[in-house]
Structure 1
């Protein structure tokens, strides 16, 4: 799929050492939104030209996205957008649900009042933007909510492990979060999590975190089915595009 043209104005204002990260941000968002779909190639020459950067920061960005599981790279082959199976994603989400349940318990012991207020503030932002037409902005706050809970544990091993799984699940969790029909239930879960943190109720927070991630598995399953239907509808001979944003 052709990459969307980007002007160089934004990129030239960025310090050289952060250029790779900026390119990664652009490509990551295009992958999340489906502008670059699973299985699509990312040719270096065309992509660097479209983004008005050299191949060096592009390769840095691709390595970052490979580490996150969003891009697959192999010697002498063009990088492609990763296409994990539903089973792979389900297994990762099951592990993530256990990690976040543990983080919820630890947070009840370790989180400061200021950290809990920050977490609750993110929840309030999401409540106010549930119908925001920009799914990426809503998603970033949603992921920030979960990251803040894990960070509040001060458990470096847990934080590092969670980060590794979190990166590999970004697109799957985005597919879950962008479904409007699932947002109301997700916000109820978030409300229970915040309530549990306020009360330092380990059992409530842990169970709410685990149920929240198990719900994401159901949402991802639906999103995968809708994506497949959309792909089939856009195949030659079909003119009925689908949508997974409902």
Structure 2
């Protein structure tokens, strides 16, 4: 499957893009394709290829790529166009330092007001994660893991906090997906998620906050170790 076919298949599974103007639609599509590794780190992005795949003129594609460059997602390389940025260990460490702190704050706020029905929804996500692992579908597990954390942030009902966390979410999701096959099977995450929900049911926001921060630290450690091994292997092969 070539890039155009991959992107067209990816677009068919996206929702809500029709409401955006063309530059915004191009931006969101390319950003999500990078997040989901349809466009992996180091991938060259030729305006013509993206234009053909998204069935748009080059103008909105160019605007989207320039915006993504300003955000540090892609890099402009003279005479080569744009390439998808690498997953840098230093950047990722900074991202996780921010996310785990804000996750702790979000879950404390959420725990104070969360309903039984909302907690049931979180438990339903955990059950789906267990099914995904049973089916060895690590990509689906990663999607559900992201959904679990995003749902807790939603329950905090704090738009500013949500906006800050969301600005870093793509980077952490991309790294998680990029390393998932090289990390231990994430059964321990299922156990941690269940413990987090139990603390929320008990209305113990402090304990829930400590658990979710510990959960993030463990995931960060695993991901950074994989990136270390990957970088070491690349250096050795050069």
Shifted more, 139-148 versus 161-170: the winner is 161-170
Equivalent positions of 1:143-182 (< 5 A) are: 143-179=146-182, 181-182=184-185
Q: TM-score, with normalisation over the residues of structure 1?
A: 0.76
Cα RMSD (Å): 3.5
* Structure 1: runs of 5+ lacking an equivalent: 237-246
| CA contact 2:27–2:64 (8 Å) conserved in 1 | yes
Distance 2:143 2:26 in 1: 16
Who is 2:84 aligned against? Answer: 81
Which whole-Å CA distance do the structure 1 matches of 2:101 and 2:69 have between them? 24
When residues 185 and 63 of structure 1 are mapped into structure 2, their CA distance, relative to the original with a 3 A threshold, is: farther
* CA distance in structure 1 between the partners assigned to 2:168 and 2:31 by the alignment: 19
Task: Please point out which of 178, 201, 213 is paired with 2:204.
Answer: 201
Q: Distance in 2 between matches of 1:74 and 1:58?
A: 16
Structure (1 or 2) with the greater helix fraction: 2
Distance 2:52 2:211 in 1: 46
Residue 43 in structure 1 maps to residue 49 in structure 2: no
1:57/1:195 Cα in 2 relative to 1: closer, same or farther (>3 Å)? farther
CA pair 109-16 structure 1, distance change in 2 beyond 3 A: closer
Determine which of 187, 194, 213 is the counterpart of 1:191: 194
Q: Look up the match of 1:239.
A: none
- Counterpart of 1:113 in structure 2 is 116
- Tell me the alpha carbon deviations over residues 77-101 of structure 1, each in whole angstroms, 9 at most, x when there is no partner: 7222112421221111011100001
Answer whether contact 1:131 1:180 (CA < 8 A) is retained: no
Give the corresponding residue for 2:3.
4
CA contact (8 A) 1:28 1:65 kept: no
TM-score normalised per structure 2:
0.79
- Shift of residue 134, structure 1, vs aligned partner: 4.0
For residue 142 of structure 2, what is the aligned residue in structure 1? Answer: 139
- For residues 49-128 of structure 1, the aligned pairs below 5 Å read 49-59=52-62, 61-62=64-65, 65-66=68-69, 69-73=72-76, 78-128=81-131
In 2, are the aligned partners of 1:109 and 1:200 still within 8 Å (CA)? yes
Output the CA distance in 1 between the equivalents of 2:66 and 2:198. 39
The runs of 5 or more residues in structure 2 that have no matched partner are none
